[in-house]
Each structure stands twice: as C-alpha cells, then as structure tokens.
Amino acid sequence: MAKFTALDAEVIGISADAPERNLAWTKELNLPVRLLSDSAGQVGRRYGVWDDLWSIERRATFIVDRQGTVRWMESGGLCIDPSRALDALTGLAKSR
C-alpha cells in the first residue's frame, strides 16, 4: 500500500457482494482498502466486467486517472497480483 500511496494512488475494491458482506470481508481479512458494493452491477457494466449470467463482476484491475479516463486495465487471474498494477502505475507516472 505504501508504494501505491507514494505514487499518489488510491486503491479501492469493488465487489458485487452486499455491503454487509463486504464489510465482513474487510474486517476478517484486515483489508487496508475500501471495499465498495456494486450489487446492481452498474459499475461493472460501465467498465465491461459484469457477467449477466452469474450476476458478478469478473476479476479486473483498472488504473483510472483523476479525469475518469481508464489508463490501464487487466482482467483475469493475473490481476490478483498487485505488483502488475504497481508496475503500470509507475510507468504512467514516469510518462507524465
């Protein structure tokens, strides 16, 4: 988290689970990030990761700039590794 903060990034998780369940996960896992609920899939649809069949969001990581533009995206199992997003964020910061 310190490396993301050093790059002026805020990390937020979004899940299709209900707010109560996300709060329980946050406490149980002692997550250092906010975990928001998107149970209706509005955010997931906007970013193209909502799965209508299962009513879930597919695993994905996005870097979104302050203007709301997606600067980097990765989906699938590899995006569980935060170092990949950190590398992308570092590269974007260097290109400024």
pLDDT, tens digit, 9 for 90 and up, residues 13-68 = 999 999 999 999 999 999 999 899 999 999 999 999 999 999 889 999 999 998 98
- The CATH architecture of the domain made up of 2-87 is 3-Layer(aba) Sandwich (3.40)
Nearest CA to 14 among 41, 53, 32? 41
Q: What is the pLDDT of residue 45?
A: 96
Place of tokens 């203007």: 67
- What is the model's pLDDT at position 18? 94
Query: Please, is 17 exposed, middle or buried when counting C-beta atoms within 10 Å of its C-beta (0-12, 13-18, 19+)?
Result: middle
Q: Which residues contact 50 (CB under 8 A, 6 or more apart)?
A: 41, 44, 56, 57, 58
Instruction: Provide the whole-model pTM.
Output: 0.84
Per the DSSP assignment, residues forming a β-bridge with 12 are 34
